[in-house]
């Protein structure tokens, strides 16, 4: 089944009238890029997080929600191998929400931002007038290109490139989705060590996000089931491999690079990197199973719509 969100995103991208000279990267990547005067440019990402969809206020603390909201945007900065600059936040409050909870949210936002020198510089507070609408928080973040590193897009994977991921995958909903580390430093280290052809963060599951990278790069892919790094939480599920392939919110990096460059990044200190497959001709995802047989892999990740 086609991903509804992707169909809409592609439609919006086709409608775009933003001139490429001023906006080199637009709809469909992890961040959009805005060229300013001189050589300066800034990147921007906006993310809406909803109670019941991205977190559950009946179990998660407001501080934790603030941390997650900020970290999701920081992960977008990482996905482009850019340096976070600052964030603005808007909230929609249920009736009678109270300022104490908002201050705890603020604490989480600031704490997460501070780790990456990314202060909160503005915001907007609004409240629902009906009785049943739930809490929403929207973070918009700016980043800037690292010196000498062009922002890494999703559309540059080439046939023969290796498919790589950081960390381990799957089972994020058990714990990690509220407490992950955005891979900002890892992305900059990797992009400094080797030429990265394409990169994104894994938010909706490896299969869905790899499919996006393939479509945008006009290539296919073969994953190898034996190489996919399973998280300890994925291993506790009934289907660890399916969990690693399809669960959302890993917030790890997925990237493409030439096979000869793998040695440059394989042993970077403190960064776990796995080669999980190879980009191919064609337009389909395939996976080599534990049994060695190659099968078609349908993207099975999270569809927001």
Query: How many other CB atoms are found less than 10 A from the CB of residue 7?
Result: 12
Choose which of 59, 132, 260, 269 interacts with a copy of itself (CB under 8 A).
132
Interacting residue with a copy of itself among 134, 239, 283, 295 (CB under 8 A): 134
Q: What is the separation, in whole angstroms, between the first and last Cα of the chain?
A: 12
Subset of 22-61 contacting a copy of itself (CB under 8 A): 23, 26-27, 29, 31-32, 34, 36-40, 42, 44-50, 52-54
Stretch 208-227: interaction string toward a copy of itself, x if CB under 8 A: --------------------
Please identify which residue in 124, 175, 259, 283 interacts with a copy of itself, judged by CB under 8 A.
124
Task: Compute the least distance from the CB of residue 162 to a copy of itself, in Å.
Answer: 28
Nearest C-alpha neighbor of 66 from the set 53, 46, 43, 49: 49
Is 21 a binder of a copy of itself (CB under 8 A)?
no
Pull the structure tokens for residue 70.
Answer: 């900020």
Which residue, 53 or 232, is less far from a copy of itself as judged by CB? Answer: 53
Nearer residue to a copy of itself within complex by CB, 130 or 267: 130
Contacts (Cβ under 8 Å, ≥6 apart) of 302: 203, 204, 205, 208, 248, 249
Query: How far is residue 287's CA from residue 252's CA, in Å, rounded to a whole number?
Result: 20
Q: Which of 129, 148, 238, 269 binds a copy of itself (CB under 8 A)?
A: 129
User: Which of 60, 61, 104, 144 forms a contact with a copy of itself (CB under 8 A)?
Assistant: 144
For residue 9, the 8-state DSSP code is: H
Q: Is 173 in the site for a copy of itself (CB under 8 A)?
A: no
- Residue among 252, 35, 295 nearest 151 (CA): 35
Rounded alpha-carbon distances, angstroms, from residue 255 to 23, 27, 60, 73, 185: 23, 19, 31, 18, 15
- For residue 128, state whether it binds a copy of itself (rule: CB under 8 A): yes
Kindly tell me which residue out of 65, 70, 83, 93 binds a copy of itself, with binding defined by CB under 8 A. 93
């Amino acid at each position: 089944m086609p991903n509804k969100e992707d169909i809409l995103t592609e439609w919006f991208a086709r409608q775009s009238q933003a001139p490429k000279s001023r906006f080199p990267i637009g709809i469909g990547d992890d961040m959009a890029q805005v060229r300013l005067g001189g050589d300066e440019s800034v990147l921007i990402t906006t993310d809406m997080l909803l109670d019941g969809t991205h977190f559950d206020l009946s179990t998660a603390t407001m501080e934790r929600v603030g941390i997650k909201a900020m970290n999701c945007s920081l992960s977008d900065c990482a996905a482009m191998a850019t340096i976070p600059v600052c964030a603005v936040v808007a909230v929609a409050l249920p009736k009678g929400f109270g300022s104490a909870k908002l201050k705890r949210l603020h604490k989480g936002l600031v704490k997460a931002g501070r780790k990456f020198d990314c202060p909160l510089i503005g915001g907007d507070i609004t409240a629902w007038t009906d009785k049943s609408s739930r809490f929403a928080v929207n973070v918009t973040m700016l980043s800037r290109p690292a010196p000498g590193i062009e922002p890494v897009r999703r559309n540059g994977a080439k046939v023969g490139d290796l498919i790589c991921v950081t960390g381990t995958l799957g089972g994020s909903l058990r714990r990690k989705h509220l407490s992950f580390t955005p891979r900002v430093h890892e992305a900059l280290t990797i992009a400094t060590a080797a030429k990265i052809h394409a990169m994104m963060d894994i938010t909706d599951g490896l299969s869905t996000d790899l499919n996006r990278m393939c479509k945008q790069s006009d290539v296919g892919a073969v994953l190898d089931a034996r190489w996919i790094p399973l998280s300890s939480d994925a291993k506790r599920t009934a289907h660890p491999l399916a969990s690693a392939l399809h669960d959302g919110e890993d917030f790890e990096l997925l990237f493409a690079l030439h096979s000869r460059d793998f040695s440059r990044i394989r042993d970077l200190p403190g960064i776990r990197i796995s080669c999980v497959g190879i980009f191919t001709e064609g337009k389909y995802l395939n996976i080599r199973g534990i049994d060695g047989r190659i099968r078609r892999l349908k993207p099975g990740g999270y569809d927001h719509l």
